[in-house]
Amino acid sequence: MSDILLLSMPYGKSYGKIDIESLDFGVPPVGLAYIGSYLKSAGCDVRLVDLMFSTSNWEEVRTLIHKESPKWLGISATTPQINEAFTTAKIAKELNPDMQVVIGGIHASALPEETLSNENIDILVYGEGEMTMLELVEGKVIDQIEGIYYKRDQKIIKNPPRSLENDLDKFPYPLYEDLPLERYGGEHVGATLGIISSRGCPYQCTYCAANTIHKRKFRKRSIENIVGEIEKFKHLFKVTKFSFYDDTFTLDKNRTVAICEAIMKRDMNLEWNCITRGDSLTKPLLEIMKKAGCSMVQIGIESGSNEILRKAKRRETVEENLQAVHWAKQAGMEVVGLFILGLPYETEETIKQTIEIAKKSKVDYAQFSILVPLPGSEVWDLAQKGEAIELITSNWEDFGRYGRSIIRLKGLDEDALSKYFVKAYKKFYMRPSYIIKKLGKVTNLASFLNLSKKGLVLLKLIK
């Protein structure tokens, strides 16, 4: 039994056509893990459970909540998971009507009143949750707690927002101890442990909803704090592979160099990867990253059209992205190119340009997705106004990646976008030169089986 139970929701249909049971790896609930560790450091009795790969097995969820019988149930859910969150809350209230159900995350922060209108949710946390959740469970007077919505006399009350914490070092390392760490990582990098070395991103990309919580404010942990976490988890969990989940890991180039130098100074012998932008990479930076153990970078190329990038407020160019990929390859890294089809004002011609740039760029892997207008993003606001983009569903389960299009644009309906999505994957991965190159890297049975599995996932995606 635990006083506080934190639950990360099942992926459900978050990956569209991709069956989550076919995936070897997922992303850990780092946000909830930080909340869990903060509560635990304050002496709270807390348990964190990740239901990521549960395929909506509600009896399993019911048994878990009944066994723990918590006073507080904390739920985090993305937009395509929100219905699972509501079902979980309903189960909790059926088991114990007095259990306090709290929900948080980007979706809840973007649509607080709609989310809290669910009869089984008691309190909604908007913004960052560590300090807010602690004040809730410690019994602070509810109308004095910043960063929440709550109900009183059948009315929804909004308290003032909580200021973002600038000193990220005050938060203990994430509570990973009870999580299935062997299931976290990526299809291209294998099992890795996730680290967030900074929070927030100052850019204004129209399709991104992260600003809902971080308000485009970039905050960073100290180098000692970051490396301390790596050292602790390396020894505690016997891992040497890490993934940095920062929105833009190399945003502050000097900081990135300092992290690399600290890793090398301690002779940590790590392998790691990160996500970043092409215009925040330089050849010398990539070289030192490689020396420090960076084996792969994921670069948000997004479009092959400079005009579409400009309208998406990317503030970078196709040429900068191609240069970054070239430098990364020269440094000896693998590169994943991230692309979005269906950005506002997209045309058939610009989509074709994106597919061609993906092939021309020489990235090792291309990850295409159709634009999903997430609540909290600028494209969501455009869709609500019917400007440049039309949303054709109100079912949150349809807001997953890699599924059929849920939007239509002028001159490009949902069927056309869905067909281009499939075409993009076929054009990139079905090239004879690409297949031959990948087969040439097969050195043993394990690598052959791994390649075969990736092929089967791809076939399901494009059928």
Distance, CA of 136 to CA of 257 (rounded, Å) = 39
What pLDDT score was predicted for residue 441?
74
pTM recorded for the entire structure: 0.93
Q: Which residues contact 413 (CB under 8 A, 6 or more apart)?
A: none
Q: Are strands 155-158 and 148-152 parallel, antiparallel or unpaired?
A: antiparallel
Model confidence at 449: pLDDT above 70: no
What pLDDT score was predicted for residue 21?
60
Q: Which residues contact 85 (CB under 8 A, 6 or more apart)?
A: 9, 75, 77, 103
Looking at the fold, whether 145 and 200 belong to one and the same domain comes out as no
Looking at the fold, whether 203 and 56 belong to one and the same domain comes out as no
What pLDDT score was predicted for residue 152?
95
- 171 CB-side CA count, 13 A: 29
Residue 343: inside a domain = yes
Q: Give the mean pLDDT of 136-150.
A: 97
Looking at the fold, whether 145 and 205 belong to one and the same domain comes out as no
Residue 408: inside a domain = yes
Residues facing residue 310 across a β-bridge: none
Model confidence at 254: pLDDT above 60: yes
Positive or negative, the CA dihedral 318, 319, 324, 325 is positive
Looking at the fold, whether 193 and 251 belong to one and the same domain comes out as yes
User: Among candidates 304, 316, 380, which has minimal Cα distance to 344?
Assistant: 380
Distance, CA of 408 to CA of 389 (rounded, Å) = 6
Residue 178: inside a domain = no
Looking at the fold, whether 284 and 397 belong to one and the same domain comes out as yes
What pLDDT score was predicted for residue 13?
63
Model confidence at 205: pLDDT above 80: yes
What pLDDT score was predicted for residue 442?
72
Residue 413: inside a domain = yes
Looking at the fold, whether 274 and 396 belong to one and the same domain comes out as yes
Looking at the fold, whether 232 and 375 belong to one and the same domain comes out as yes
pLDDT band at 141 (very low <50, low <70, confident <90, very high): very high
Report the CATH number that the domain containing residue 203 is assigned in CATH: 3.20.20.70
Which range (18-32, 266-280, 362-376, 389-403) has the least confidence? 18-32
Q: Give the mean pLDDT of 74-100.
A: 96
Residues 325-351 have pLDDT tens digits of 999 999 999 999 999 999 999 999 999
407 φ, ψ (degrees, to nearest 5)? -130, 165
Looking at the fold, whether 304 and 419 belong to one and the same domain comes out as yes
Model confidence at 17: pLDDT above 60: no
What pLDDT score was predicted for residue 10?
85
Q: What is the largest CA-CA distance in the chain?
A: 67
Model confidence at 55: pLDDT above 70: no
Looking at the fold, whether 125 and 200 belong to one and the same domain comes out as no
Residues 292-324 have pLDDT tens digits of 999 999 999 999 999 999 999 999 999 999 999
Distance, CA of 455 to CA of 338 (rounded, Å) = 19
Positive or negative, the CA dihedral 26, 247, 294, 451 is positive
Q: Give the mean pLDDT of 41-63.
A: 89
Which range (75-79, 89-93, 433-437, 447-451) has the least confidence? 447-451
Instruction: Take residue 435 and report the two structure tokens written for it.
Output: 């297949």
User: Among candidates 246, 237, 308, which has minimal Cα distance to 277?
Assistant: 246
Place of tokens 């299809």: 187
What pLDDT score was predicted for residue 452?
59
pLDDT band at 81 (very low <50, low <70, confident <90, very high): very high
Domain count, the chain: 2
Please report which residue ranges of 238-337 form alpha helices under DSSP H.
253-265, 283-291, 306-311, 318-330
- 253 CB-side CA count, 13 A: 12
Distance, CA of 427 to CA of 87 (rounded, Å) = 40
What pLDDT score was predicted for residue 459?
61
Instruction: Assess contact for 337 and 365: CB atoms under 8 A.
Output: yes
What pLDDT score was predicted for residue 436?
81
Q: Give the mean pLDDT of 397-411.
A: 90
Residue 463: inside a domain = no
User: Among candidates 166, 120, 123, which has minimal Cα distance to 145?
Assistant: 123
Q: Give the mean pLDDT of 11-17.
A: 62
What is the domain range of residue 142?
Answer: 4-158
pLDDT band at 22 (very low <50, low <70, confident <90, very high): low
Q: Which long-range contacts (CB under 8 A, 24 or more apart) does 253-260 make?
A: 253/280, 253/282, 253/285, 255/198, 255/220, 255/223, 256/285, 256/289, 257/285, 257/288, 258/223, 259/197, 259/223, 259/226, 259/227, 259/292, 260/288, 260/289, 260/291, 260/292, 260/294
User: How many residues in the chain?
Assistant: 463
Model confidence at 364: pLDDT above 60: yes
201 φ, ψ (degrees, to nearest 5)? -150, 130
Looking at the fold, whether 402 and 302 belong to one and the same domain comes out as yes
Looking at the fold, whether 137 and 234 belong to one and the same domain comes out as no
Looking at the fold, whether 196 and 62 belong to one and the same domain comes out as no
Residue 309: inside a domain = yes
Considering the chain, what percentage of its residues have pLDDT values greater than 90? 82
Model confidence at 446: pLDDT above 70: no
Average pLDDT, the chain: 93
Q: Which residues contact 214 (CB under 8 A, 6 or more apart)?
A: 164, 199, 200, 201
Residue 255: inside a domain = yes
Report the CATH number that the domain containing residue 100 is assigned in CATH: 3.40.50.280
Residue 174: inside a domain = no
- 324 CB-side CA count, 13 A: 25
Rounded to 5 degrees, what angle do the CA atoms 223, 228, 229 make?
105
